[in-house]
Each structure stands twice: as C-alpha cells, then as structure tokens.
Structure 1
Amino acid sequence: MTRPVRVGVHLWPGGAPDYAAWRAAVLRAEDLGADAVFGYDHFHLPAVRRVPTGVVLEPVQPDVVHFEGWTALASWAEITTRTELGLLVTGIGYRNPDLLADMARTVDHISGGRVILGVGAGYYEKDYSVYGWDYGTVRSRMDLFADGLRRIEHRLEHLVPQPLRPIPVLVGGAGERRTLPLVGRYADIWHSTLDVETFRRKNDLVKEYARASGRDEGAIERACTWTGATRAGELLAEGVTLYVAEVKPTGTGYDLTPLREALAWRDSHA
C-alpha cells in the first residue's frame, strides 16, 4: 500500500497561558496545512526529559495550567474543517473502554469523520493517584490495555449510529512482549519515538504479529515523532509516512516552527 507523506502536530496543553492559546494553536496548525492535530490525555503536565531509552520523569512534577483532552477534542471538531484530530494517546485506564468508543464515535460525527482514536497503556502515576485510579503494575495496565482494545473494537461495531468512517485506532508504544502484538492485531496507525535501527527491528515484529492475526501489515500506517529532516528521510525509507512535530507552550503561546519545518519537508516529498 502506497501512502502519502503526512505531518501532524502534538500540542501540549500543560503550561499554556490559557485555553484560548491552545485553541488558537489548533487553528493556526490547520491553517498551515497540518494533516492531523493531537493533544494528549493527561490531567497534569508530565515534566519529562527524553533519553535514548525513552522518557524519564523529572524529580519535581509541578502543577501548572492544564486542560482535559477529550473535552477539547469535541470543541476542536467544531472549529476546524479539514485536519484529523486525536490524542497522543488516551490512557486506557482512565475511562470505561465502551464509553471511550462512544466518545470517539460522537467526536467523529461532530467533526464530519475526522477523529483518530489514539490509545496507550498509560504510564504517568500522578494522573492515576491524584484522580483516584489504581496505578497498578505494568502487567495490570497492559492487561487493561489488551482488554480495552478488544472492547473498543466490539463497541464501535455495535453503536447506533455507526461512526462516519471506520475510526483509525492509533496505538502508541513499542514494547515487544505486549504492545507490538496489540499493534499487529488492532492498530490502523502505530506511533513510536524510535531511532532508525530500533524501528527497523521492531517494525519487523509488527509485520509478524499482523500476519499472525490475519491482517495485512500494509494496512498499518507507521508514525514517528518528528526530530528533523535527516532522521525523517531515513525513517521514510523504512516505511514511516506520518511525522508528528511535538510543540510545547511557552509563556506566551505556541511556537509552531517545528511544524512549519516538517510541513516544508513533507511538501518537498509530495
């Protein structure tokens, strides 16, 4: 399956001056030509730094200005007209999975068929503890994730009315033992933050898991975080076609320079 090169933007709400700044960034991203606009599903800003093995939490996790993602998506569905919309990614343990499927279907109708249902196992303990959920263990969260994906698939098939299109399910993560088999079984989009060599190896596993589930691995769109044109070009050769620029707010708003750079690279590969 030949796919076009696409670019999305991941707009963090935590630390924004106010909701209006977050909303304005969504509209600017659409005007610039973003193919997808994502928020995230946290209730507090995760203070993190990226290392070669992933993400490390900072010792202090401050409380800052923040807003809830799915409520915002319903608003974005009304104010935008073209870009796809989603969260990168919904924590499966925060909501009943059948309810989550219904929420996604509803936003799909509000948007005219533009929602992406991004899901992950959840990792940020503060979200769980402050809001009263059991953080559990990696194993228990992955068990919930596997069962949640099954329930979402079932509920989307039985809602009345149906979504306006088959809602793309985006699975975030790269764990080889639990996450990648779920990518192969359920994902329409697989999102990761891997270097090229690691992506190549794990992508081979996704292909195996898809075939084992009776699926065409080519039906799964590969997505990665945008980190510049050089790495994007290398990942494009490996089959990645969706690149997501991460933009965090400053004290006054959002600097969309990473998105502009990614869009220029996309257009050069059109």
Structure 2
Amino acid sequence: MTAVAPGRAGTASRGWWSPVLSVFRSRREAAVGVVLLVTLVVLSMTVSLWTNYSPSEVAGAPFSAPSGAHPLGTDDLGRDYLVRLLTAGQTSLGIAFFAAGIALLVGSAIGIAAGLRGGWLDSVLMAVIDLVLSFPSLLLALSAVTVFSPTKTTLVLVLALIAVPQFARVVRSRCMELREREFVLSARVSGVPDPIIAVKHLVPNVLPLMTVQFANTAAIAILVESSLSYLGLGVQPPDPSWGNMIYASQNYMTDSPWLPLGPAGVLLLASVAWGLIGEGFNSGRRSLI
C-alpha cells in the first residue's frame, strides 16, 4: 500500500481537481476571469442561434452606424459586424485553447518524465527542449506559417510547439522536488510503477502549476494568432478572426471607429480574462501544493 506523507505534500486522496476548485473559492480574480471567458465563449458559439445573419451575408448599407438592428453597425461590405466579431471569436479562442491544450499535454508529459526519472532521459529530453528554445518563438512561428499553408491547424500546431518548452521546464522543476518527497519514495520502495506514481502523486501536485501555465499560454497564443492574422499570415479571409478584422478596418477609424475598436476591445478582454485566471492560480498555488 502506498504511503502518503502527512499534510499538503501528498494530494492523492484529494483528487485531481480539488486544488483547482479550491482556487475558485478563494481567489476572486480567477472566478472573474472564468466568467468573462465563459461569456465570450458562449456568445461566440451561440451567435448563429440568436441572430438573423451569417458572417458573410450583406445585412445592410456599408458603414451603417450601431443601431438596434445592428448593435455594432456594419462593415465596408454591409455585413453585420457583431456577427462577424463573435464568429471570429470562435476562431481566435478556439486556436488559443487547442494550442495551449496540446502544449499542456505534450510539455507536461515531457516535464513529468524528465523530472521523475532523471538520468539520461532527463538529459535527452532537456537537450531537445533547449534546441527548440534556441529559436526565437516569433521567428519560428513566422517561418512555419510561411513554409506551410496558414491554416487553422497549422496555427494550432505552431503555437503549441513554441509553448511546449515552457510547460516542460516548469513541470520538470516541480517534479524534481516532488520525487524526493517521502510519499514518492515510499511508493517507489513499495514497487509502484513510475506511470502510476506520476498519475497518482505528481499530477495532483503540479496541476495548479499546469493551470497557471495553460492560462498564460492561452493569453499569449491569442495575441500571437491575432498578430499573424493582422500580417496576413494567420487566418485567411473570408474567415474572420480578430487580427484580420483589425487590419481590414484600420483605415476606417476616423469615420467608423467602432470597426477597429470592436475586435481590439474583445481581444483585450479575452487576454485579460486568461490573465486573471493565471494570476488567481499563481497567487493560490503555494497554499495548494
């Protein structure tokens, strides 16, 4: 039977999500961030259910001012801007979420394996991570979307690749501390396989740290994806994203200021939401692990 050290060090009996849920009860900024993010996601995913227009449909005269029929007016082609803004949210939020999710799975697996086993495996994995880190992240992203077609799948994979090293490093560092703890040593002496030790003892302890990194990665991924789309190297028209909407509307700021301010404001709101979640978990992390 696996021994668990008293106190907060061994969290196997508390369940994986117990540390995460306790953050929302104690850290208000994390809860606010989740509410903002969920609101954006729900509005974006359900826009087709409560509006009468499609994102590519001409809904009125070009450059119509905000009104009851069009709360954010229309763009230069007469398309409903609110519909396009929320449809773009599906793309921008989805790319950031999946990129951060893939980076979390791959990077955390590398970090746990390197931190728990050590030795030659740690050396090899960290050498690969250092190789990836030797390339500037933005330059790597620009090169990848230039060589390959700038599809949504390409953006997700590229953004995940540049975020994997950060996950691997922070998780490895924590696991190197945990592997010397009494509850991990007791499990090893009892003959518990390393995969079971990782799942039962390490993951619950590094989960708050992984959540902080996930939120920070998603916030950065939204900004990088929007920057690439602004430069024409991300999501391609006619598919809307917040980045290419800002680019397409920047020349109309004087006469129709709602056009660039709409996607810029929502982009800022999404980044702030992810930042609040990360800050909440980062503030509460030391008391949870």
Name the one with the larger strand percent.
1
Bigger-Rg structure (1/2)? 2
User: What is the TM-score with the length of structure 2 in the denominator?
Assistant: 0.19
TM-score normalised according to structure 1 size: 0.20
Q: Which of the pair is proportionally richer in helix?
A: 2
